[in-house]
Chain A
Amino acid sequence: MDNLKEELKKHIIEQLNLEDVRVEDIADSDLLFDQSGLGLDSIDALELIVLLEKFYGIQVTKPEEGKEAFRSIETMAQYIRKRKTAV
């Protein structure tokens, strides 16, 4: 199991108040902003940016940059790893 991904799911559920969702409900490849996935919206995307800064010290200065990174748990984890190693 990938710890970062599990941790991310936990943070997302908490930060976005997804009360009816459990960690095991989210697959790594689920499209976060699609109704087939978590059905998140534009404000959720901004909260994900806050989450990245709060828990991983990563600053996203352009929301468009987040768009690609926030497609799924998979892409978010990749993005975090990339940004962390770049520092």
Chain B
Amino acid sequence: MIYIGAEEMISPLGNDAKATFSAVSEGLSGISLVHKAGLNQTDIHLATIPGLTVSRAFENLIVAILKLVANNVDPDTVASDRTLVIISSTKGGLKDSIADPFADVADTILQEFNLAHQPLIISNACISGVLAINTAGNFVRSGHYDHVIVIGCDVISDFVIYGFQSLFAVSDKPCAPFDSGRAGVTLGEACSAVVISNNPQIYRDRPYSLLIGTSANDANHISGPSRTGEGLYRSVSRTMAQNGISPADIDFISAHGTGTLYNDEMESIAFDRLGLVDVPLNSLKGYFGHTLGAAGVLETAVSIQSMRNGLLLKSMGYIEKGTSVALNVIEESKNTQIRTVLKTASGFGGGNASLLIQDL
């Protein structure tokens, strides 16, 4: 069995997992209107982490999260020669070095934490985080490593803001995934981590089981999701089949739900084809914005916290059905036992990825 746990997060809503999850449980959102941060000095909604350093913010966040994670596992785990660190990010330290955005962070943590192996960076757009966790599971299952620390991190930059604005993809109000009034994404920044291992003893708090996850390209368009949800459909059906999981086994879906018209519609079509429309579902983007390369890890970490606390979180920003197929979008947070979670992600480049986590 492969285990997952020791989840941590540094987000606009808190400096660790506990603070962040408690804010989310109270229904707080990290999104606010930021003065003149948009193109041509326009105001724009963002989910920013207060007090980030101007230079080396990316690197500092990664160092900070590794310290937090180290407290949640056996202290020998981080520097063990059986441990790999995977970083999931789209733009890395772009603000510090656009020509070589990942070199510094890798060197820094190698030295500061005395890592035994060169960290692996996965940069696969918005599916990076889910892909990184799946990769970690694969490396542990195959016996290449005993433990993998997966860190997802992206920080907000003019680069990303202007890029999304040039695509007319930014919402003029806080994003509202799956809602009829949704009008695009709200960008966010976060750093989150989980630890995958073959040994349940290394965890301070009890771990969960990470099942085999898969990815699939939708071979449609580099920046637009397939209208039929083909890639997401294929990834989720493959993940369910590989683990012998049927729709009735799934208690909760942590969807991608960016809040754009086409993405959310695509997801609803894919979930319909998969027979999953009745499963309670949320998008966490209404709390954290779209944190790009961090999203898959952050949303998995929050979902693990949901399992720990037996709390299904409402999909922030959702008011009424906004997709052609009705989904069971969670409108009010509610206490319930959650045994099996499906996490999905979709992104630019046609990528789709999915993973399953189960209570032991």
A and B touch in the complex (CB under 8 A): yes
Q: Interface on A for B, CB 8 Å cutoff? A: 41-43, 46, 50, 62-63
| Bound Cα distance A62, B221 (Å) | 22
Complex partner residue of B224 from A42, A50, A62, A63, CB under 8 angstroms = A42
* Contact (Cβ within 8 A) A46 B221: no
| Total B residues in contact with A, Cβ cutoff 8 Å | 6
Interface flag for B167 (CB, 8 Å): yes
* Contact (Cβ within 8 A) A63 B221: no
Apart from A43-B167, A46-B168, A50-B166, 6 more pairs, CB < 8 Å: A42-B221, A42-B223, A42-B224, A43-B223, A46-B166, A62-B168
Interface SS majority for chain B: loop
| Bound Cα distance A43, B221 (Å) | 10
* Contact (Cβ within 8 A) A41 B167: no
Central interface residue in B166, B167, B168, B223, by most chain A CB within 10 Å: B168
On chain B, the residues within 8 Å of A63 by CB distance are: 168
Shortest CB–CB separation between residue B226 and chain A, in angstroms? 13
Q: Across the A-B interface, how many residue pairs have beta carbons closer than 8 Å?
A: 13
| Bound Cα distance A43, B166 (Å) | 10
On chain B, the residues within 8 Å of A62 by CB distance are: 168
On chain A, the residues within 8 Å of B168 by CB distance are: 46, 62-63
Q: Interface on B for A, CB 8 Å cutoff? A: 166-168, 221, 223-224
| Bound Cα distance A42, B167 (Å) | 9
Nearest A residue to B224 by beta-carbon distance? A42
A–B pairs, 13, beta carbons within 8 Å: A41-B221, A41-B224, A42-B221, A42-B223, A42-B224, A43-B167, A43-B223, A46-B166, A46-B167, A46-B168, A50-B166, A62-B168, A63-B168
Shortest CB–CB separation between residue B64 and chain A, in angstroms? 37
Shortest CB–CB separation between residue B125 and chain A, in angstroms? 15
Nearest A residue to B222 by beta-carbon distance? A43
On chain B, the residues within 8 Å of A43 by CB distance are: 167, 223
Nearest A residue to B223 by beta-carbon distance? A43
Pairs of residues from A and B, 3 with the lowest C-beta to C-beta distance, nearest first: A63-B168, A42-B224, A43-B223
Nearest A residue to B221 by beta-carbon distance? A41
Nearest A residue to B166 by beta-carbon distance? A46
| Bound Cα distance A79, B78 (Å) | 62
On chain A, the residues within 8 Å of B224 by CB distance are: 41-42
| Bound Cα distance A63, B224 (Å) | 15
On chain A, the residues within 8 Å of B221 by CB distance are: 41-42
On chain A, the residues within 8 Å of B167 by CB distance are: 43, 46
Nearest B residue to A45 by beta-carbon distance? B168
| Bound Cα distance A46, B223 (Å) | 12
Shortest CB–CB separation between residue A44 and chain B, in angstroms? 11
On chain B, the residues within 8 Å of A42 by CB distance are: 221, 223-224
| Bound Cα distance A41, B224 (Å) | 10
| Bound Cα distance A50, B163 (Å) | 13
| Bound Cα distance A42, B222 (Å) | 11
| Bound Cα distance A46, B221 (Å) | 15
| Bound Cα distance A46, B224 (Å) | 13
Shortest CB–CB separation between residue B42 and chain A, in angstroms? 11
